[in-house]
Amino acid sequence: MSRRVAWVFAYVVFLLLELLVVYLDLPLRTTLMEIYLLLWFFAGLLFGRGVGRVASLVFYMLGALASGVVVYSLGYLYRFMVPPLYPKPIYGVPSPLDVPVYVAGFYVWWRIQCVAKRWGGELSCPRQRRISQS
């Protein structure tokens, strides 16, 4: 299992635990949220070696901020066009109709994070190969 897959898996597990704790109103809410934020913040350190770790962390955070801007700005426009599924919005829990906005945000995050490869980061974005027609 690659590092990226392991971190994405841990990220999703902690997010689901946080949602479960909030839903059940358990006293672990702040502890799990702190672990979740630390996991999110330091995940970029694992995508490189030496100076590449710092570059990975910087571009990881820049990508996360840029994707947040994309999701936040597109979310309002998208919500005008597509009505919510639920009568009362549940904040922090996206509906299945929000998938295009989150895919756009993830794509921005991924492309910015791949720039760290130039400074020794471990992630690289494969370029699309053009198939020549004979």
Query: What are the tens digits of pLDDT across the range 95-107?
Result: 677 778 888 888 8
Instruction: Read off the pLDDT of each residue in 70-84 and give the average, rounded to a whole number.
Output: 80
Residue 55 contacts residue 119 (beta carbons within 8 Å): yes
* In the block, residue with structure tokens 């400074």: 119
Residue 63 contacts residue 112 (beta carbons within 8 Å): yes
User: What are the angstrom distances between the C-alpha of 110 and each of 11, 60, 66, 80?
Assistant: 16, 8, 10, 27
Average pLDDT, the chain: 74
Flag whether pLDDT at 114 surpasses 70.
yes
Instruction: Read off the pLDDT of each residue in 47-75 and give the average, rounded to a whole number.
Output: 80
Return the pLDDT at 91: 61
From the list 52, 31, 40, 38, the residue with the least C-alpha distance to 11 is 40
